[in-house]
Amino acid sequence: MTDLVACLSAGEKSWNHVARLINDGDWKKIFLVTNEFGRQSFKTEKDADFVVVDFKKPVSALINDIQNGLKGRIADFEVALNLVSGSGKEHMAILSALLKLGVGVRLTAVTKDGIKEL
C-alpha cells in the first residue's frame, strides 16, 4: 500500500476519474491538492486529506503551499501521483513540491483495465 497524491482542480468532469481512483485503489493515505471549492464539493467513499491551496497564486507560491501541506505527512519514499485533473501550472507545482520533499512518484491512472501505473 502506498499513499496517493492527486490533483483535484477545475473541470468537475475529471473528478469522476479521481473518485474512481480513490474508491478502487488500496491506499495507505489519500492527499488531494485542491482549492476551497474542491474541499467543500468533492465527495468520496474513503477518507481523504485535503491540501487546500489557491490555484491563482504564482507557481512558486503554489509549490511552497503544497510542500508545506504535505511535509511530514508522507510516510514512504514514493507516492502514486495522479494529474488527470488540473492545469499544467498546477501539475508542475505538485510535482515540484513532491520532488523538493525527496519523494519519488509513480504516475497512476484509472484505465479500462483498472488502476495502472503509467
In sign, the C-alpha dihedral spanning 16, 21, 24, 29 is negative
Distance between CA atoms of 87 and 3, rounded to whole angstroms? 22
- Band of residue 63 on the pLDDT scale cut at 50, 70, 90: very high
Class of domain 2-117: alpha beta
Domain range list for the chain: 2-117
Q: What does the pLDDT read at residue 85? A: 95
- Residues 37, 9, 110, CA angle at the centre, nearest 5°? 125
- Whole-model pTM: value is 0.95
Q: Write out pLDDT tens, residues 19-46.
A: 999 999 999 999 999 999 999 999 988 9
